């Protein structure tokens, strides 16, 4: 939505030639410092020439040319499937975690821009701006006559008196705002106009001639307003919205929209990735000292303990379902298949990453052995671990990912037998997806046409809890 909308806005502005008005040019860049000085009240004359001043242009250009593309690319650099499609993507940010850091920092850049933008709207006449934002019509001039006196009578008797004495001159329109402004050499910043030493007639003279640019019309003390904006933004951002947000994300309509977005996302990402393109593989030096383990605690059932005896000598992998030739394999048999060793990065949905060296049998070899029937669409991995409610962990992938050259059933991590924390005796590695797809403690693989009748029906323990089944993201 954000991207489409932004694209529409940019296209429209390009088409209408509006862009020229707010894009920073070289000559504008030279004036940025004088605009800063002007805002800091160090300089009396605004260097503005046109509808937007150099600082505004800098902010808008920054958002469009720097912030938006960077935030999009750093976001995409976190997607496992897109990392397979475009290996260089995380690298340009200096690594996947760097991309994540930059992504969050840029998000605060947006927040800063929005805050500044809204602050300007509030200070430059809230109601009038709201009118033009909803109806398109912005009221000029009249507001000066109405509001300036209303805001001042008690505190500024001098101005109020002067206002009564001096009838406002007849409105005089000018279509060249830049010229009008330039002609006003020596007129102080509008904020200063309300100071007692200021001649009220000047206040009129200036505002009357302005067009298009919003008229500075401060009614609140600037500091109060700043604090109020800050507080309300913080309050809205941190509390009110989250409840709405939580209930929103639980609503069924939103869920179905998100589900179709997930489908579309999977199709687009698959399209972008050449079949069998590999995820980046790292070197021995890149391996994380500790490969973090998450999720359910290691299964502590009698079965699991019994299986672990004698290096899993009695453990068997059952391969069943829609296959020509079901199989029952021991760990030693699995190790006798051709193996693949890969040093890859594991990306958790939480945000952390770890690099490990995995050795295992290609899942494709198992497929060749059992020969799935044509109607089989998914491989479901049955695991031995359970959550605190006793629900068994399970995962599933489709047969496209199942035959990917990096999809392995791993029995070794960093040249040692798979530790219990990392899924002993056997875990799945599916390198184009997030960590939760990499099922641990596997006891069986079942080939199915649909997973609707399995557990929650969404195809995976976490998908049943509302996570995406497709975690190429």
User: Contacts with another protein in 266-305 (CB under 8 A)?
Assistant: 282, 286, 288-290, 292, 294-296
Q: Interface with another protein includes 88 (CB under 8 A)? A: no
Among 435, 443, 446, 451, binds another protein (CB under 8 A): 435
Spatial separation of the C-alpha atoms in residues 389 and 219, rounded to whole Å: 59
| Smallest separation (angstroms) from another protein to the CB of 347 | 9
238 binds another protein (CB under 8 A): yes
* Residue 330: φ, ψ to 5°: -90, 170
Parallel, antiparallel, or unpaired: how do β-strands 442-448 and 316-321 relate?
Answer: parallel
Restricted to residues 204-233, the positions that interact with another protein (CB under 8 A) are 211-212
Residues 6 or more apart whose CB falls under 8 angstroms from that of 344 comprise 279, 280, 281, 282, 355, 356, 358, 406, 429, 431
**Of 134, 253, 283, 388, which lies in the binding site for another protein, with binding defined by CB under 8 A?**
134
Interface residues for another protein in 102-121 (CB under 8 A)?
Answer: 104, 107, 110-111, 114
Under 8 Å between Cβ of 112 and 67: no
Of residues 312 and 436, the one with the C-beta less far from another protein? 436
CB distance 213 to 190 below 8 Å: no
1 near another protein (CB under 8 A): yes
List beta partners, residue 356: 344
Residue 443 touches another protein, criterion: CB under 8 A: no
**Nearest by Cα to 277 from 42, 86, 469:** 86
Report 343-362 residues binding another protein (CB under 8 A). 345, 348-355
Binding letters toward another protein, positions 41-80, x by CB under 8 A: ----------------------------------------
Asked whether 33 and 40 are in contact (CB, 8 A), the reply is no
375 belongs to the binding site for another protein (CB under 8 A): no
Sign of CA dihedral 457, 461, 467, 473: negative
With CB under 8 A as the contact rule, the residue among 462, 468, 469, 472 that binds another protein is: 462
Site membership for another protein, residue 153 (CB under 8 A): yes
Looking at beta carbons only, is 63 or 202 nearer to another protein?
63
The residue assigned the tokens 């199989």 is: 327
Q: Is 386 in the site for another protein (CB under 8 A)?
A: no
């Amino acid at each position: 939505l954000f991207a489409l909308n932004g694209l529409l806005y940019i296209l429209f502005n390009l088409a209408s030639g509006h862009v020229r008005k707010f894009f920073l040019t070289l000559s504008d860049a030279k004036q940025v410092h004088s605009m800063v000085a002007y805002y800091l009240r160090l300089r009396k004359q605004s260097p503005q020439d046109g509808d937007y001043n150099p600082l505004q242009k800098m902010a808008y250009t920054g958002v469009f040319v720097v912030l938006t593309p960077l935030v999009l690319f750093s976001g995409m650099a976190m997607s496992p499937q897109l990392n397979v499609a475009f290996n260089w993507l995380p690298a340009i940010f200096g690594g996947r975690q760097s991309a994540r850091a930059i992504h969050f920092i840029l998000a605060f850049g947006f927040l800063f821009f929005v805050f500044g933008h809204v602050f300007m709207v509030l200070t430059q006449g809230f109601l009038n701006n709201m009118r033009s934002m909803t109806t398109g019509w912005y009221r000029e001039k009249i507001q000066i006559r109405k509001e300036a006196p209303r805001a001042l009578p008690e505190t500024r008797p001098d101005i109020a008196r002067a206002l009564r004495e001096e009838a406002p001159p007849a409105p005089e329109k000018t279509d060249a705002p830049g010229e009008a402004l330039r002609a006003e050499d020596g007129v102080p910043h509008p904020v200063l106009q309300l100071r007692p030493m200021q001649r009220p007639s000047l206040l009129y003279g200036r505002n009357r001639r302005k067009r298009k640019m919003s008229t500075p019309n401060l009614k609140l003390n600037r500091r109060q307003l700043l604090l109020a904006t800050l507080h309300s933004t913080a309050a809205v951002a941190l509390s009110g919205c989250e409840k709405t947000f939580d209930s929103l994300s639980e609503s069924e309509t939103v869920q179905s929209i998100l589900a179709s977005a997930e489908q579309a996302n999977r199709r687009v990402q698959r399209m972008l990735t050449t079949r069998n393109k590999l995820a980046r593989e790292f070197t021995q030096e890149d391996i994380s000292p500790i490969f973090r383990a998450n999720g359910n605690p290691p299964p502590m059932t009698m079965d699991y303990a019994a299986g672990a005896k004698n290096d899993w000598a009695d453990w068997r992998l059952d391969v069943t379902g829609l296959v020509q030739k079901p199989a029952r394999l021991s760990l030693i048999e699995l190790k006798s298949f051709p193996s693949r060793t890969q040093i890859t990065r594991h990306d958790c949905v939480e945000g952390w990453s770890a690099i490990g060296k995995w050795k295992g049998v290609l899942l494709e070899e198992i497929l060749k052995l059992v020969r799935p029937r044509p109607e089989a669409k998914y491989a479901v991995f049955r695991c031995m671990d359970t959550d605190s409610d006793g629900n068994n962990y399970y995962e599933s992938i489709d047969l496209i990912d199942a035959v990917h050259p990096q999809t392995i059933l791993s029995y070794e991590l960093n040249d040692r037998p798979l530790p219990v924390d990392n899924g002993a005796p056997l875990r799945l590695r599916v390198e184009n997806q997030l960590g939760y797809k990499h099922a641990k403690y596997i006891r069986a693989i079942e080939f199915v046409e649909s997973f609707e009748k399995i557990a929650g029906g969404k195809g995976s323990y976490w998908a049943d809890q509302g996570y995406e089944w497709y975690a190429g993201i």
